[in-house]
């Protein structure tokens, strides 16, 4: 039964963590984006995120994106600095051509910081990280 389920390898889907200025609070905040570099729209996107280490586990957050067009990005979560001190899991599921796809991203604890960030062309030079 289990061997009959085919979940293909996901390519051209990336996660971006971007440091952006928040006009309302006049602070720099980390935001998470999903990047669709495919030539097709992906649909019914579900993203489950949580932070963890050996002693702590945050609540799981669930985000949905009805459609993410080809070669586009969608912001889905603000990341509080306290959460960046933990490992962060981003589990992404979506449909394309009536086929289910899944991809997991893991951002290790203490790896996201302004001093390690690089300018990102896709985000008009804002600093951040692209995770494959």
Residue 126 lies in a domain: no
State how many domains the chain has: 1
Strand partners, 64: 46
More confident: 129 or 23: 129
- Is the predicted pLDDT of residue 3 greater than 80, yes or no? no
Residue 119 lies in a domain: no
**What is the residue-averaged pLDDT of the chain?**
95
Give residue 1's pLDDT: 60
Residue 122 lies in a domain: no
CATH code for the domain in which residue 60 is found: 2.60.40.10
pLDDT digits (tens, 9 = 90+) for 45-81: 999 999 999 999 999 999 999 999 999 999 999 999 9
The 3-state DSSP class for residue 122 equals helix
- Is the predicted pLDDT of residue 89 greater than 80, yes or no? yes
User: Is residue 67 within 8 Å of 43, Cβ to Cβ?
Assistant: yes
User: Is residue 17 within 8 Å of 28, Cβ to Cβ?
Assistant: no
Give residue 8's pLDDT: 83
More confident: 8 or 36: 36
- Is the predicted pLDDT of residue 41 greater than 80, yes or no? yes
Q: How far is CA 124 from the centre of its chain?
A: 18
Give residue 2's pLDDT: 65
Residue 59 lies in a domain: yes
Range of the domain at 105: 2-112
Residue 121 lies in a domain: no
How many residues belong to the chain? Answer: 132
């Amino acid at each position: 039964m289990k061997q009959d389920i085919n979940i293909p390898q996901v390519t051209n889907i990336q996660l971006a963590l971007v440091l952006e200025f928040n006009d309302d609070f006049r602070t720099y905040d980390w935001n998470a984006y999903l990047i669709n570099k495919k030539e097709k729209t992906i649909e019914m996107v579900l993203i489950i995120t949580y932070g963890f280490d050996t002693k702590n586990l945050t609540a799981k957050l669930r985000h949905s994106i009805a459609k993410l067009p080809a070669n586009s990005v969608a912001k889905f979560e603000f990341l509080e600095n306290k959460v960046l001190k933990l490992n962060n899991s981003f589990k992404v599921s979506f449909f394309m051509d009536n086929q289910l796809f899944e991809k997991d991203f893991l951002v290790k604890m203490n790896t996201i910081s302004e001093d390690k960030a690089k300018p990102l062309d896709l985000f008009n030079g804002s600093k951040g990280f692209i995770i494959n």
